[in-house]
């Protein structure tokens, strides 16, 4: 009987050791999970902010392309200002390219936000991801408009060359 009790005590000690190991492992995993979750949260919020900033940059590029196109049209009234028209066209093209690059950055940031959210469906992160997607769509629209304006500026320059 004493021998049986000793075996029970040995097994209890082994179980206690196993339980202590499990608790220690759980605390480590829980800590790591918490850190990963916070990092994922930060990634989503930063990606959303990057998409919004890229969308604002794309809008500014669209405005620059529009102003360059207007300058090209105004200068086109005087064929002697062909250099001004060409400079305006070059500015419109550069603005359109910047808009396209910004739109691509917005799309990449929105994709990063969406990817982060796919791992954790928290309401605030879903909202941030949605905002990033909206910003990306707005950036694409602005980029398309900037390219259209750039093409219009090019047409103005081409028409002046045709008159000269």
CA-based nearest residue to 60, from 110, 120, 22, 106: 106
Q: Is the pLDDT of residue 159 over 70?
A: yes
- Other C-beta atoms within 10 Å of 40: how many? 17
Q: Is the pLDDT of residue 74 over 80?
A: yes
Q: What is the mean pLDDT of residues 127-151?
A: 86
Query: Are the beta carbons of 159 and 71 closer than 8 angstroms?
Result: no
Which three-class secondary structure state does DSSP give residue 121? coil
Q: Measured on CA atoms in the order 59, 61, 67, 72, is the torsion positive or negative?
A: negative
Number of domains into which the chain is organized = 1
Can you give the residue range of the structural domain that contains 141?
2-163
The pLDDT of residue 123 is: 73
Question: In this predicted model, what pLDDT tens digit does every residue of 44-64 receive, in sequence order?
Answer: 788 888 888 888 898 888 899
pTM of the model as a whole = 0.70
> Could you tell me the pLDDT band of residue 70, with boundaries at 50, 70 and 90?
very high
């Amino acid at each position: 009987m004493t021998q049986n009790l000793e075996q029970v005590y040995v097994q209890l000690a082994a179980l206690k050791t196993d339980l202590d190991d499990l608790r220690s492992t759980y605390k480590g995993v829980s800590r790591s999970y918490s850190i990963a979750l916070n990092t994922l949260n930060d990634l989503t919020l930063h990606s959303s902010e990057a998409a919004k900033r890229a969308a604002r940059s794309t809008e500014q590029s669209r405005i620059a392309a529009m102003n360059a196109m207007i300058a090209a049209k105004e200068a086109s009234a005087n064929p002697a200002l062909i250099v001004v028209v060409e400079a305006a066209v070059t500015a419109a093209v550069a603005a359109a390219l910047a808009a396209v690059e910004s739109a691509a950055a917005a799309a990449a940031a929105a994709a990063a936000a969406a990817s982060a959210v796919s791992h954790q469906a928290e309401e605030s992160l879903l909202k941030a991801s949605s905002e990033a997607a909206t910003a990306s769509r707005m950036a694409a629209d602005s980029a398309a408009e900037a390219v259209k304006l750039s093409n219009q500026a090019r047409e103005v320059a081409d028409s002046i060359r045709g008159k000269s």
